[in-house]
Amino acid sequence: MTTTTRLDLAKVRNIGIMAHIDAGKTTTAERILFYTGVSHRIGEVHDGAAALDYMKQERDRGITITAAATTCRWRGHTVNLIDTPGHVDFTVEVERCLRVLDGAVAVFDGVAGVEPQSETVWRQADRYGVPRVCFVNKLDRAGASFHRCVDMIAERLGAVPLVVQLPIGAEDGFAGVVDLVAGRALMWTDGDPDVVDVPADLADTAREWRGRLVDAVAERDEEVMALYTGGTEPSAEQLHAAIRRLTVAAGATPVFCGSALRNKGVQPLLDGVVRYLPSPADAGADDDGPLAALAFKIMSDRHLGRLTFVRIYAGRLEPGRTVLNGVKGRRERIGKIYRMHADRREEIASAGAGDIVAVMGLKDTTTGETLCDPAHPVVLEAMDFPAPVIEVAVEPASRGDREKLGAALQRLAEEDPSFHARTDAETGQTVLGGMGELHLEVLVQRMREEFGVAAAVGRPRVAYRETIRRAARKVEYVHKKMTGGKGQYAKVQISVEPCADAPYEFVNQVTGGRIPKEFVPSVDAGCQDAMRSGVLAGHEMTGVRVVLLDGAFHDVDSSEQAFRIAGAQAFREAVRRASPVLLEPVMAVEVSTPAEYLGEVIGDLGARRGRIDGIGAQEVRARVPLAEMFGYVGDLRGATSGRAAYSMRFDSYAEAPEAVAGKVVAAAR
Ligand SMILES: Nc1nc2c(ncn2[C@@H]2O[C@H](COP(=O)(O)OP(=O)(O)OP(=O)(O)O)[C@@H](O)[C@H]2O)c(=O)[nH]1
């Protein structure tokens, strides 16, 4: 059965849930699905039964890897919910979700407060200008503190928290919340909360905090300020409207609280989502304009095959329609369209601006590309994906496995733009690259379990790069083969020089037909072939400009192939003369630790060739080469009795010191 819906845009919310690993995103999302009637029982993460974590891997590991888009309904609104992964290795997933969201719920662990990864994700959301509401979760746990977490939101994240609720009771006795806007209390026993008077012992505190809320809003909102100076207390509706204006403008963030696990606080959080977070209409979505949609995720479904998740910004999508991939300039036909409900799907007859849906039938479109009306081509701003910094070599067990591996890698790379696969030119091995140890572990496990590839997998190693330190001018290479029938002949002369603003550039300066036009792209292709495997240790090269200066050809014996070979050989020779160097990935590392271990943590980072960027009362920021960070999880736990935590993301590539480079080069040879 298919359904046709024309959404009232003002009643749509496209939101994500973001947080540090284990803060309780998945548990909160599960409760949202339960209360909105999508799922009929509550799946627990620790039972491996959460509906959103539907991939087998996720069930095994109890963590969220792939963001799943789910549609649910709350108080007459359509809420498209995206559950984003919290582990730093999957930052790309978070980033691509933020790109298509209108708003987000930031979940914090009431005991741990603002943790490093919540900070990373918060900054990402800042970068994309995504309005947020906060949910301070786990208030049932021993040691939880709502106010400490609110302070951290202000201090660590530089946000303006608007406290709209106060917890009633603490830890085991946590029973409900005061709604400061309405001046009522919500108490949970089972299911929906009872709305009652604010408990007498909290009345004064509640009055004080409502005053603070009104002050904070008045300071930033003219309408409430006008009431305030006129001596009128704003009504609940006026306050709601002002909080919405501030939230949508990303000028402040309402803070809610509760315990997802104990089923407390989730319904008012949902109210907050529809009340305060923006709708696509706030972003100017237009159903009647020409189509503009962004593909933000590719997923292979065991039954349906390739599904492309798209966010529609303008216009409508219908099955059977031909659309243009604005980036590739190729036409694609839309197959069936689905609204996804985590583990279930609903076929729909059309989808409009502001919607997030899954589409079948797209063959050529990858993550970050735009779909548009062929008569009105547009390209929406694409997404940037960081380079893989860690690799493993994979050796298929048999020829059959090699074939399966090829298919698996293609599918996995389509789904995940932060995953790369290449063939090592020297060893012929297949090398997989990713964002971190866990990322690759998950990919390898999927390759084995989902695609049935039997393969030996090497130890994870750093993905180095190679570049050149200076220019090498006028390097010549002649490719000549005169054996047998038709010969091969191509001569090229090139210069190479360091290129700061692009990984690779090719400039053609050949004049007077010394190389026929049709062979110039072959020289370029040859240089790019050689870029894939540097002369030092076979790592991918970056930051090289090639200038093609001169050459010669032969009427009969010259071919594209010959010029490609000559280009590659000239390039290798030029690079050898241009002081090639090894680059290593350097990570931005943030460690949070009890103060007593601070000295030890700093000393250890130093021993790992780290450069300290900043030291706080309980935290250290440093830049450390990735090569020194293998096994850091365990070492840090050991040194701090498990009390410190860290997060790490790619920062930059830097020239490896000679001692390090020497070893890498020797190992490659
Ligand atoms: N005490 C308590 N535990 C909670 C609460 N919410 C979640 N948990 C537990 O915290 C753990 C992590 O919860 P998840 O929901 O998987 O956290 P997550 O943030 O989705 O984690 P990832 O998906 O791995 O990024 C689980 O064992 C939950 O049962 C809560 O309100 N109170």
> What is the per-residue pLDDT for 49?
47
| pLDDT higher than threshold 60 for residue 67 | no
CATH class of 467-578: alpha beta
User: CATH 2.40.30.10: does it fit domain 292-372?
Assistant: yes
Is the shortest distance between the CB of 139 and ligand 1 below 6 Å?
no
Q: Which residues of 259-277 are buried (b: 16+ CB within 10 A; e: fewer)?
A: bbbbbbbbbbbbebbbbbb
As for the ipTM of the complex, it is 0.96
Report the mean per-residue pLDDT for the chain.
86
Contact at 8 Å (CB) between 549 and 495? yes
CATH class of 390-463: alpha beta
| pLDDT higher than threshold 80 for residue 156 | yes
**Parallel, antiparallel or unpaired: strands 165-168 and 161-163:** unpaired
Q: What value does the mean pLDDT take over residues 148-153? A: 95
> What is the per-residue pLDDT for 47?
46
Q: What value does the mean pLDDT take over residues 646-652? A: 81
- Please state the domain extents for the chain: 9-173+252-283, 292-372, 390-463, 467-578, 583-668
Round to whole Å and give the CA distance between 639 and 594: 12
Q: Which helix (H) or strand (E) holds 473?
A: strand 472-481
Round to whole Å and give the CA distance between 365 and 359: 11
Query: Three-class SS of residue 548?
Result: strand
Q: What is the pLDDT of residues 356-379, one digit of tens each?
A: 899 999 988 887 789 999 998 887
Q: What value does the mean pLDDT take over residues 286-301? A: 83
CATH class of 9-173+252-283: alpha beta
Q: What value does the mean pLDDT take over residues 286-306? A: 81
* Highest mean pLDDT, choosing among 387-391, 565-569, 617-621, 663-667: 565-569
Is the shortest distance between the CB of 259 and ligand 1 below 6 Å?
yes
Is the shortest distance between the CB of 138 and ligand 1 below 6 Å?
yes
- C-alpha 262 to ligand 1 mean position (Å): 11
- C-alpha 426 to ligand 1 mean position (Å): 46
**Parallel, antiparallel or unpaired: strands 390-396 and 455-457:** antiparallel
Choice between 251 and 90, residue whose per-residue pLDDT is larger: 251
Rounded to an integer, what is the distance from CA 455 to the centroid of its chain? 28
Count CB-CB contacts under 10 A for residue 387. Answer: 16
Q: What is the pLDDT of residues 584-634, one digit of tens each?
A: 999 988 888 888 999 999 999 999 999 999 998 888 999 999 999 988 888
Query: Could you identify the atom of ligand 1 that is nearest to the CA of residue 86?
Result: 25
- C-alpha 156 to ligand 1 mean position (Å): 22
- C-alpha 26 to ligand 1 mean position (Å): 7
Contact at 8 Å (CB) between 529 and 568? yes
Tokens read off for 328: 């590739």
| pLDDT higher than threshold 60 for residue 88 | no
Is the shortest distance between the CB of 136 and ligand 1 below 6 Å?
no
Report the largest interatomic distance among the alpha carbons of the chain, rounded to a whole angstrom.
Answer: 101
Tokens read off for 459: 């130890």
> What is the per-residue pLDDT for 425?
64
Is the shortest distance between the CB of 540 and ligand 1 below 6 Å?
no
Least confident of 138-142, 167-171, 246-250, 645-649: 645-649
Sign of CA dihedral 527, 533, 536, 539: positive
Is the shortest distance between the CB of 140 and ligand 1 below 6 Å?
yes
> What is the per-residue pLDDT for 459?
87
Q: What value does the mean pLDDT take over residues 265-270? A: 97
| pLDDT higher than threshold 90 for residue 454 | yes
- Take atom 11 of ligand 1 and give the residue whose Cα is closest: 22
Residue 644 annotated as binding? Answer: no
Query: Could you identify the atom of ligand 1 that is nearest to the CA of residue 21?
Result: 25
With bands split at pLDDT 50, 70 and 90, how would you rate the model's confidence at 26? confident
Choice between 30 and 660, residue whose per-residue pLDDT is larger: 660
Least confident of 27-36, 170-179, 526-535, 613-622: 27-36
Round to whole Å and give the CA distance between 69 and 309: 8
Half-sphere exposure of 587 (CA within 13 A, CB side): 27
Q: What value does the mean pLDDT take over residues 485-496? A: 89
With bands split at pLDDT 50, 70 and 90, how would you rate the model's confidence at 87? low
Is the shortest distance between the CB of 645 and ligand 1 below 6 Å?
no
> What is the per-residue pLDDT for 343?
56
Is the shortest distance between the CB of 24 and ligand 1 below 6 Å?
yes
Residue 47 annotated as binding? Answer: no
DSSP string, 328-355: TTEEEE---EEEEETTEEEEES-EETT-
Q: What percent of the chain shows pLDDT beyond 90?
A: 51
**Parallel, antiparallel or unpaired: strands 351-352 and 316-317:** antiparallel
Contact at 8 Å (CB) between 89 and 439? yes
Round to whole Å and give the CA distance between 453 and 403: 9
User: CB-based burial of residue 428 (10 Å sphere; 0-12 exposed, 13-18 middle, 19+ buried)?
Assistant: exposed
List, edge to edge, every strand of the sheet that includes 165-168: 165-168, 176-179, 184-187, 194-196
Q: What percent of the chain shows pLDDT beyond 70?
A: 89
> What is the per-residue pLDDT for 48?
44
Contact at 8 Å (CB) between 387 and 500? no
Sign of CA dihedral 430, 435, 437, 440: negative
> What is the per-residue pLDDT for 92?
63
Amino acid at site 404: K
With bands split at pLDDT 50, 70 and 90, how would you rate the model's confidence at 38? low
User: CB-based burial of residue 512 (10 Å sphere; 0-12 exposed, 13-18 middle, 19+ buried)?
Assistant: exposed
- C-alpha 193 to ligand 1 mean position (Å): 22
User: CB-based burial of residue 518 (10 Å sphere; 0-12 exposed, 13-18 middle, 19+ buried)?
Assistant: exposed
User: According to the 3-state scheme, what is the secondary structure of 274-332?
Assistant: HHHCCCHHHHCCECCCCCEEEEEEEEEECCCEEEEEEEEEECEECCCCEEEECCCCEEE
Q: What value does the mean pLDDT take over residues 400-427? A: 82
Choose among 629, 591, 588: nearest CA to 607: 629
Q: Which CATH number fits domain 583-668: 3.30.70.240, 3.40.50.300, 3.65.10.10, 3.30.413.10?
A: 3.30.70.240
Amino acid at site 526: G
Choice between 128 and 111, residue whose per-residue pLDDT is larger: 111
With bands split at pLDDT 50, 70 and 90, how would you rate the model's confidence at 166? very high
Amino acid at site 220: R
608-614: Cβ within 8 A, 24+ apart: 608/632, 609/657, 613/588
292-372 and 583-668 agree in CATH topology: no
Is the shortest distance between the CB of 84 and ligand 1 below 6 Å?
no
Is the shortest distance between the CB of 269 and ligand 1 below 6 Å?
no
Query: Could you identify the atom of ligand 1 that is nearest to the CA of residue 20?
Result: 19
> What is the per-residue pLDDT for 426?
66
Choice between 418 and 144, residue whose per-residue pLDDT is larger: 144
Query: Three-class SS of residue 572?
Result: helix
Query: Could you identify the atom of ligand 1 that is nearest to the CA of residue 28?
Result: 15
Choice between 367 and 249, residue whose per-residue pLDDT is larger: 249
